[in-house]
Amino acid sequence: MGIRIGVLALQGAFSEHIDAFKLALQVLDPPGHSSVIPVRHADEIPDLHGLAIPGGESTTISRLIDKNQMRRPIEEFEGGIFATCAGMVLMATEVDDSRIRTLGLIEMNVERNAFGRQRESFETDLVINGFDTPYHAIFIRAPVVTSCGPRVEIISKIEKGIVAVRKDRHYAIAFHPELSTDPRIHIRFIQGLGV
């Protein structure tokens, strides 16, 4: 039996995540027993091993999660969650915007749009714990973690703050690994699912 990854396809960069996970699975599972699907309905979530919450507009994604009755299935999901940019905001226990109803799945405080607007987007090479070489990261209206709980592992940080964390099988990443040609972060997430 293969690995089943779902990408929340309500708003944001979900198609790029689907492509990135397909690439990672080709590296890990050459015969093609695994699958990646767009997730638009709550009843699709429980059968997955992993779920990605992509970047996009965090207030919009938060509203759409509730509108599509996905909040409880995500909060109770037993697999791993791979959250990027806006997804990181949604995973937090605290965020600096009262319009966002977070999922509270990783004990962390997040500053939304910490680097400014779209024109302040940037790329940089990051040190990622566990990687032998730097990871080229793309930041677009990115958040940062300003503090996190004792059970949260900090994977990467820069001068502005923490930009990647892990708690159990959940990952929250401020940048956009789905826009990179480097599959290492997606591979690491999949390997941590324990399937």
Report the pLDDT value the prediction gives residue 138, as an integer from 0 to 100.
Answer: 94
Q: Which residues contact 137 (CB under 8 A, 6 or more apart)?
A: 123, 124, 125, 126, 163, 175, 176, 177, 180
Query: Residues in the chain with pLDDT < 50?
Result: none
What's the predicted TM-score (pTM) here?
Answer: 0.94
* Alpha carbons 127 and 111: distance in angstroms, whole number: 21
The yes-or-no answer on residue 178 being catalytic is yes
Q: Return the amino acid letter for 138.
A: I
Report the pLDDT value the prediction gives residue 119, as an integer from 0 to 100.
Answer: 67
Report the pLDDT value the prediction gives residue 147, as an integer from 0 to 100.
Answer: 96
- Please identify which of the residues 17, 49, 170, 176 carries the catalytic annotation: 176
Report the pLDDT value the prediction gives residue 194, as an integer from 0 to 100.
Answer: 80
Residue 98 maps to which CATH number? 3.40.50.880
- What is the span of the domain harbouring residue 67? 4-191
* Alpha carbons 123 and 125: distance in angstroms, whole number: 7
Beta bridge partners of 77: none
The yes-or-no answer on residue 186 being catalytic is no
Report the pLDDT value the prediction gives residue 115, as an integer from 0 to 100.
Answer: 80
Cα Dmax for the chain: 46
The yes-or-no answer on residue 170 being catalytic is no
Q: Return the amino acid letter for 113.
A: N
Give the number of other Cβ atoms within 10 Å of residue 99's Cβ. Answer: 10
- Please identify which of the residues 85, 148, 170, 186 carries the catalytic annotation: 85
Report the pLDDT value the prediction gives residue 31, as an integer from 0 to 100.
Answer: 66
Report the pLDDT value the prediction gives residue 83, as an integer from 0 to 100.
Answer: 97
Q: Which residue has the tokens 């987007």?
A: 121
Number of domains, the chain = 1
